[in-house]
A and B are shown apart, each in its own frame.
Chain A
Amino acid sequence: MDLKLKIWRQKDTRSRGKFVDYKLQDISPDSSFLEMLDVLNEQLVARNEEPVVFDHDCREGICGACGLYINGRPHGPDSLITVCQLHMRKFKHGDTIVIEPWRARAFPVIKDLMVDRSAFDKLIQEGGYVSINTGSGPDANSIPIRKKYADLAMDAAACIGCGACVAACKNASAMLFVGAKVSHLTLLPQGKIEAMERVSGMVAKMDELGFGNCTNTGACEAECPKGITLSNIARLNREYYRAAL
């Protein structure tokens, strides 16, 4: 298939960016979206131009490195996948595809389509863990956990930290990301001990880093590649009130 691409090019954080048009021919519908960008980059290298920069690594939807805003949607038109799992068969011959970086105050653009998501690491550092040192845990089966809660914790822990929720949100809120980590740990007995400190610390940090408030529109849930649900935000709010009381 033949395609027209409008790609955001930006030299560095301080420079102004702009859309640049490219044309591609004979792209296989079985290629992944990033393989399509590889083809473009090979052509740019052949013309001695700088390739388009984007983050990517595992290319199997789990490392969370890739994240592109494609035709106005984080990770593109398919649901429950990351960009690296998006395949070109979701597009048609002759389509124009608009590709932008995540846009959020807390995620400044580094170059082209690559953004700085270190704010997510800073959020986890504010309590997104269980304070237990290596070697000090009891026998694993001495902590029985009801299957229902183990499954709910796993649902929340599936977050890959890609930032699509922030990119999708009009307020660039990190409530889904924080809600997922708070839920994962609060649903388990191991994580309950520090539940109050965790939720207070992470919420305060979220504000400090420039993430906005929840809009209640559910855009984050709609675009999350791992299906993290809004109920995690509800649980975050409950835990927050409980800690504040």
Chain B
Amino acid sequence: MVQIQSKIPVGPLAEKWSTFKSNQNLVNPANKRKLDVIVVGTGLAGGAAAASLAEMGFKVKSFCYQDSPRRAHSIAAQGGINAAKNYQNDGDSVYRLFFDTIKGGDYRSREANVYRLAEVSNQIIDQCVAQGVPFAREYGGALDNRSFGGALVSRTFYARGQTGQQLLLGAYQALSRQIKLGNVEMVPRMEMFNLVMVDGKARGIIGRDVITGKLERFSAHAVVLATGGYANVFFLSTMAMGANVSAAWQCHKKGALFGNPCFVQIHPTCIPVHGEAQSKLTLMSESLRNDGRIWVPKKKEDADKLQRGEINGTEIPEEDRDYYLERRYPAFGNLVPRDVASRAAKERCDAGFGVNATGLAVFLDFKDAIQRLGKDVIEAKYGNLFQMYEKITDDNPYEVPMMIYPAIHYAMGGIWVDYELQTTISGLFATGESNFSDHGANRLGASALMQGLADGYFVLPYTIQNYLAGEINTPRFNTDTKAFEEAEKEVADQLEKLMAVKGNQSVDTLHKRLGKIMWDYVGMARNKDGLELAIEEIRNLREEFWNSVRIPGELNDLNPELQKAARLADFLELGELMARDALIREESCGGHFREEYQTEEGEALRNDKDFTFVAAWEFKGPGKDHVLHKEPLIFENIEVKQRNYK
């Protein structure tokens, strides 16, 4: 039986992290170069961790499935990164950022982790500026900030609409420097397929060379997952096409518990779906809600005309527009958190007020902002986003309002980790979006970049030493051992089994069907009957997959269909666990909305008495049900209340 220990340091909240650092074990420089660390993934968490560990003197092996570490999907984050610098003199503080993040997460995250996140946020900005990240500046030369949802202060640092890109390039460049210095062995186009364990400890990975299809073995004293989120279980999401859960899922099957799998984020401002061939969804940054106003028509007949394409949004007079976020949430208005904004859009569209042919879109309108600030100012702030929108939709958002609709965007759930970011497998760590830790049931905007870099630059490189200090007497070992052989054989068997199906359905056909089940029953609104149905349908689909998937090409060759099939096989298992997790959580919180549990005004209704815990799921073997472990969440510094953005 797995035991979960959160290992939160004792003492006052504000001193926990410094207490931990002062008392943890460290590794001396001579020993650091004898220790190898595998880091899987090169996004903000993985790139930053690999670079920082190498700077410290550890030998790092870094992996990504893309052709270059610079392409990890952190690059697509647009809006910004939060920090408690209080450069705007508007009353921000570490405590306030901590408070907003806990509240934004609907009181389902750990106080100690979130406080640490807020604490190191300021160091991240210092680090990135020192690397040459070209953040936006004021005329006086100081850093500029903007506002994001769920906060009453301006604390978001940004580099135009490409903040993720610039932060990732900063980490990538730091990583490149360490590659050149010989401290990092960089292995691109290598996909992790299995975790190797020796005597109960994580000791290596099995990778598949994307180009040759060859399986390869890599050993290390510790393994760090930085493999991102699993939102592609929905098929349509804002994730990169290759984003997957497979590395994390293999670790889960080896004993790492999976935390809060049902907590996924629906982002309110994405470009609506155009048709059957749609392969992914494109986000329009939350920063647009600083100046854009969200509305639908007040009158049903206007909505009908919009849906038939007889009129466009500009033809509806001001008095007939329903700025429903400003109406329902006067204090936060268009800047309510993402889960609240998404559900409000769904509510209006379900009521028949959608504004495009499918009825699944609302307006995001810049008319007032352009009148107030001028087109030039809007262009300087959002030019690249407006251009992106126009290229995709053929509409000019300077002249007609944008159309947006919620889409799956981020996974708050992930591999369960303790305060030291260690999983329930000794020597296996999980960082960034791949872990479950800091965002509770809903992530605030501009907090993903903050968490990825916090874990990568400032948390993991410390906490992992607490483990590695016990490994200094373990010499480097080769991979010609039984453990590696067996782990490799597991992968080879699985891949051969996939190739042998030789069915008649493509991977994408099956994946789209999984996505539809997930969106319909495990999406923005969930209920008991739907979730039970989803579990049954996913099981059936999984069986169908193993009987009917068709993968052309060769096993030992560059074979994208095989790559996709292997990922889908894991999504088909994860999907069921997500539905089960959503089923047992009989409350609504953050992104998890159970229709049975809502207030009279339709807001999420938490049940703190019974559900103030992290659901950590243990894999018990193929065909067996997962076992639930509960980590109670204890709030000593914050009063747990119903979220109120009115």
Contacts and interface: CB of A to CB of B under 8 A. Distances in A.
A154 B134 contact: yes
Nearest to A42: B506
Contact of B126 (A137, A151, A154, A185): A137
A241 B241 CA distance: 43
A85 B391 contact: yes
Contact of B280 (A50, A59, A80): A59
- Chain A residues touching B, majority SS: loop
A191 B387 CA distance: 30
Contacts of A120: 68
Contacts of B112: none
A8 B130 CA distance: 44
Contact of A44 (B141, B162, B211, B552): B552
A110 B558 contact: yes
Contacts of B391: 61, 78, 81, 85-87
Contact of B131 (A59, A61, A132): A132
Contact of B188 (A59, A78, A118): A118
Question: Which of B70, B135, B162, B391 has the most A CB atoms < 10 Å from its CB?
Answer: B391
B513 interface: no
Interface string B52-95: 10010000000000111111110110000000010100000000
Interface string A14-39: 00000000000001101110111011
A245 interface: no
B241 A56 contact: yes
Nearest to B124: A140
Interface string A178-214: 0000001100101100000000000000000000000
A228 B305 CA distance: 43
A142 to B, nearest CB: 9
B139 A147 contact: yes
Interface in B158-174: 159-160, 162, 164-166, 169, 172-174
Given A28-B274, A48-B552, A89-B394, A135 B67 contact: no
B422 interface: no
Nearest to B137: A150
B67 A35 contact: no
A152 B461 CA distance: 34
Interface stretch (B176-184, B336-344, B524-532): B176-184
A130 B133 CA distance: 10
A154 B159 contact: yes
A76 to B, nearest CB: 12
B279 A50 contact: no
Contacts of A59: 240-241, 279-280, 282
B508 interface: yes
A31 to B, nearest CB: 5
A58 B85 CA distance: 31
B563 to A, nearest CB: 11
A58 B130 contact: no
Contacts of B274: 28, 30-31
B130 A190 contact: yes
Contact of B275 (A28, A53, A133, A191): A28
Contact of A125 (B176, B211, B508): B176
B457 interface: yes
A40 to B, nearest CB: 11
Interface residues of A, number: 81
B131 A60 contact: no
Contacts of B280: 59-60
A87 B136 CA distance: 31
Given A51-B552, A85-B388, A128-B173, A136 B130 contact: yes
A241 B136 CA distance: 30
Contacts of B69: 121
Given A35-B277, A87-B392, A161-B70, A57 B458 contact: no
Contacts of B508: 38, 42
B127 interface: yes
Interface stretch (A62-70, A96-104, A167-175, A216-224): A62-70
B560 interface: yes
Contacts of B275: 28, 30-31
A190 B131 contact: yes
B129 interface: yes
A137 B282 CA distance: 35
A6 interface: no
Contacts of B139: 147
Contacts of B137: 145-147, 150-151
A95 interface: no
A115 to B, nearest CB: 9
Nearest to A63: B71
A134 B127 contact: yes
Given A65-B71, A110-B558, A137-B129, A124 B173 contact: yes
A170 B172 CA distance: 29
Nearest to B65: A57
A130 B552 contact: no
Interface in B134-163: 134-143, 159-160, 162
Contacts of A46: 506
B282 to A, nearest CB: 5
A224 B508 CA distance: 32
A48 to B, nearest CB: 5
Given A38-B508, A121-B188, 14 more contacts: A28-B277, A35-B277, A35-B279, A42-B508, A45-B552, A51-B552, A62-B75, A132-B127, A134-B52, A137-B131, A139-B126, A144-B142, A147-B141, A184-B134
25 contacts: A28-B277, A31-B277, A34-B279, A49-B552, A51-B560, A57-B66, A57-B242, A58-B71, A58-B241, A60-B280, A62-B162, A64-B68, A86-B391, A87-B394, A121-B70, A125-B176, A129-B173, A130-B130, A134-B55, A138-B126, A140-B126, A151-B137, A157-B134, A157-B166, A184-B134
Q: What are the 7 A-B residue pairs with the smallest beta carbon separation, nearest first?
A: A137-B130, A144-B141, A129-B173, A154-B134, A140-B129, A134-B52, A125-B180
